[in-house]
Amino acid sequence: MQRLYTFYHEAGHARYKYRHPCESSECTSTPDDYPIMWLSVLPGNTPLEEFIRDKENFFKRNWDGIRYFNCSEN
């Protein structure tokens, strides 16, 4: 399951140009839930249902703190 999480995370960078919601220096608080792009490593106590929900939001491009790399200029 850890590998699966990391797979989705990395695919999010590559396929959807997702950025991390915050870079490490910007993170001032921990979210209530963990969108897949929040961390590259799954928190150890994440229940499977949580992961599935996050995965669905991930594909719907609908989750808190979503950011993209800006590839549209030039």
SS3 at position 57: helix
Judged by beta carbon, residue 25 or residue 74, the one nearer Zn ion is: 25
Q: Say which residues have a Cβ less than 8 Å from residue 37's Cβ, sequence separation at least 6.
A: 9, 12, 13, 18, 19, 20, 21, 58, 63, 66
Closest distance between Zn ion and the C-beta of residue 40, in Å?
Answer: 4
Q: Is 40 in the site for Zn ion (CB under 5 A)?
A: yes
Query: Cα–Cα distance between 36 and 7 in angstroms, integer?
Result: 10
Q: Is 2 in the site for Zn ion (CB under 5 A)?
A: no
- With CB under 5 A as the contact rule, which of the stretches 22-30, 36-44, 54-62, 65-73 interacts with Zn ion? 36-44
Residues at the interface with Zn ion (CB under 5 A): 40
